[in-house]
Structure 1
Amino acid sequence: MSNLKPGSESDYGEVKKRRSIAVTDTGYEGLRLLAQACGCSLSEYLERLGRGMVCATDVTNDMRSHSQSNLTK
């Protein structure tokens, strides 16, 4: 899916709206990395998370496993 402009209909049959959240730099970086691990944009990651389509702990565990396997190489 390509990035949508606010007001465009998404793959979910609903119009996306611009939202505002406040997070620390550390929290933002963590979210960005989680989205990257899922192969999607941060916006799409948050959409999937909110819809229950992805679980942060699953992605975090995958990231940890990958990180630990790189340490043993």
Structure 2
Amino acid sequence: MPDVILEIEKQLDLKANLNLLPLLSGDVVKTCVEAIKTKEKNLGYKPDTQLSYGVTLFVDWIRNYYKV
């Protein structure tokens, strides 16, 4: 299971109910992780935001936006 889903579960203290299906035509297989790794190597760019911190900000924003 992707780390981001695990982190959201942790933040919400809920268990995700996933229905994983085969990839469809047009689904994204490769993400920006590869681009970040390339920038790290070529430019010395290294993001320093931890996943848990980013998910915390996201969950807080969603709760505030939807007033939940």
TM bracket, shorter-chain basis:
0.3 to 0.5
Higher CA-based Rg: 2
- How high is the TM-score relative to the length of structure 2? 0.33
User: RCO greater where, 1 or 2, for CA within 8 Å and sep 6 or more?
Assistant: 2
- How high is the TM-score relative to the length of structure 1? 0.32
